[in-house]
Amino acid sequence: MKTNEIKKMGINIQNLNGLSTSEIGDDHISTSLETPMRKDAFKATDEEKKNKIALLFEEIMNVMGLDLTDDSLRGTPKRVAKMYIDEIFSGLNPENKPKIALFENKYRYNQMLVEKNITFYSNCEHHFVPIIGKAHLAYISSGKVIGLSKLNRIVQYFAKRPQVQERLTNQIANELSKILGTDDIAVIIDAKHLCVSSRGIKDESSATVTCYYGGVFNDSKKITELQNYINS
Ligand SMILES: [Zn+2]
């Protein structure tokens, strides 16, 4: 669809580097570090959102001609609405951000700490189909240390949003850097996008790798060391 046709339909489009949103969609370009949210995103309660999503999803199913009086389909709109708000998109709500407590680095451990193979499920914001991947995080303490499971929770929080992998990588890095008070942070994400494997180009074997190297990780020796740990 051409940009002016989309405009005629009254759909608000952002023009990014001269590309229409339909072109951007298939190329998976992210626009900023922050997930684009409206200012009134949290005016409605979770319950109100679930009720509205259930109605709208029922409409989508109706439009596709599905018979919602069928026992198997009847509960789907509500199930989808609950899943969106309580589970797979719960990371949109800042109230669900994990509470992080830091500890003094009493062990005086001053080498890199690597938490690897953190499995996550996210969803591509251009197609709303799953992104399945592993995240590897590393940091060097600036005096404080973080509970290991919290690293996992930070990944899950940012994954539970409509996402693009580049933004997910940077959001995790940015959060870690803020919490730990250091830029000595590395984030590597290796993920499969179902919008690439199950539709569109239908490439089953390709995977996408993104990384963030901050501070001392901008050094080829440190990167090699980190990669050795991840591959070991
Ligand atoms: Zn996609």
Residues 176, 215, single domain; the answer is yes
Residues 84, 163, single domain; the answer is no
- Is 60 exceeded by the pLDDT of residue 75? yes
Residues 82, 107, single domain; the answer is no
| Mean of the per-residue pLDDT values of the chain | 89
Does residue 160 fall inside a structural domain? yes
Q: How much is the pLDDT for 15?
A: 40
Q: How much is the pLDDT for 204?
A: 85
Hey, CA dihedral for 58, 129, 155, 176, is it positive or negative? negative
| Ligand 1 center to 114 CA (angstroms) | 29
- Is 60 exceeded by the pLDDT of residue 3? no
Structural domain for 14, as ranges:
3-25+41-88
| Ligand 1 center to 31 CA (angstroms) | 14
Does residue 95 fall inside a structural domain? no
Residues 48, 158, single domain; the answer is no
pLDDT, tens digit, 9 for 90 and up, residues 18-62: 455 555 556 666 668 999 999 999 999 999 999 999 999 999 999
| Ligand 1 center to 199 CA (angstroms) | 9
Q: How much is the pLDDT for 12?
A: 38
| Ligand 1 center to 206 CA (angstroms) | 14
Does residue 94 fall inside a structural domain? no
CA dist 98 to 42, 92, 94, Å?
A: 18, 12, 9
* Long-range contacts, 46-55 (Cβ 8 Å, 24+): 46/85, 46/86, 46/93, 49/81, 49/85, 50/78, 50/81, 50/82, 50/84, 50/85, 50/86, 51/81, 52/81, 53/77, 53/80, 53/81, 53/84, 53/85, 54/78, 54/80, 54/81
CB-based contact 149:100 (threshold 8 Å) = no
| Ligand 1 center to 65 CA (angstroms) | 25
CATH number at residue 211: 3.30.1130.10
CATH number at residue 74: 1.10.286.10
Active-site residue numbers?
124-127, 165, 193, 195
Q: Answer with the residue of higher pLDDT: 185 or 18.
A: 185
Does residue 30 fall inside a structural domain? no
| Ligand 1 center to 204 CA (angstroms) | 14
The whole-model pTM stands at 0.86
Q: Reduced to 3 DSSP states, what percent helix, strand and coil does the chain have, rounded to the nearest 5?
A: 45, 20, 35
Q: How much is the pLDDT for 27?
A: 65
Q: How much is the pLDDT for 16?
A: 43
- Please name the amino acid found at residue 93: N
